[in-house]
Structure 1
Amino acid sequence: MSGSERPVLVYDGDCGFCTSSVRFLERHVPVQATVVAFQFADLDALGTTAERAQHEVLWIDRDGRVSGGAQAIGRMMTAAGGLWRVPGTVMRVPPVSWAAHAVYRLVASNRHRMPGGTAACMLPPDRRPGSHT
């Protein structure tokens, strides 16, 4: 994906919590990226895999560098600029990055229990209703 015009934010479009979270970000953070559900993304062209996209949100920089989880959210916030740059940068630097990773994993592991989450969020992607994989 080297040399893309915009970075790409890839999320799980079958997960209600993930979709709600992305819509919140689009409304409140000036996301300077193409936002796409992994089920509809050309993951090979983006330099990643379905296995990784099922596990965590991904940020693919214009240069093709792939970041996942809390690092992806931090890079997205940094790219948004303005005041968003500060927490985006801070959350990618140890020891804050360690805590951000732990919180991200906790939320991701329990996304079916989160607001907007559904039982489909806890199923393996190939067993979700209306599965695209």
Structure 2
Amino acid sequence: MTNTLIYDGDCGFCTRSVRFAERRIRPDCDITPWQGTDLAAIDVRQERAEYEVLWVRADGQVLGGVRAVSALLLSSRHWFWAPLGRVLALPPVRAVAGVVYRLIARNRHRMPGGTASCRVTSR
């Protein structure tokens, strides 16, 4: 099993972000929308997949939100991104980044590429 990034394929902002990651960050992982993923096989509820990006490690551990972004950066094939992933994983930075992540996630329908279908319901 390889690392896998799971995102909301119905969200234009999420899709644009993943395309950026594929082109610029070049992560060492599979990338797939949650809509085409057997979420039960990784013990993830659909509500979680709708709420945050997920990183499924090769060992089966599931990371979400800012931890998933950190793991994505750490897996980069480009020298520039991995150090940013390490910084993002530091507890004080991760705490602040988590607040920013939630703010962006709640407003992703307003972000570039976002549409009404990107709106995240309450959580």
TM-score normalised to structure 2 length: 0.92
Q: Distance in 1 between matches of 2:33 and 2:19?
A: 12
1:1-133 paired onto structure 2 within 5 Å: 4=1, 6-81=2-77, 82-122=79-119, 124=121
Unaligned 5+ segments in structure 2 are: none
Unaligned 5+ segments in structure 1 are: 125-133
Q: CA deviation at 1:47?
A: 3.0
CA deviation digits over 1:83-103, x for unaligned, max 9? 321110110112100111011
Q: Distance in 2 between matches of 1:85 and 1:123?
A: 29
| Corresponding pairs, count | 120
Alignment RMSD: 1.2
Higher alpha-carbon deviation: 72-81 or 16-25: 72-81
CA deviation digits over 1:34-89, x for unaligned, max 9? 10000011112223221110110000010111110111000111111533211101
Secondary structure, counterpart of 1:80 in structure 2:
coil
Percent sequence identity over matched residues?
Answer: 47
Contact 2:3 / 2:29 at 8 angstroms: preserved in 1? yes
CA deviation digits over 1:97-119, x for unaligned, max 9? 01110110000000000000001
For the pair shown, the structure with the greater C-alpha radius of gyration is 1
Q: CA deviation at 1:123?
A: 6.1
Q: Distance in 2 between matches of 1:17 and 1:51?
A: 18
Q: Distance in 2 between matches of 1:65 and 1:123?
A: 24
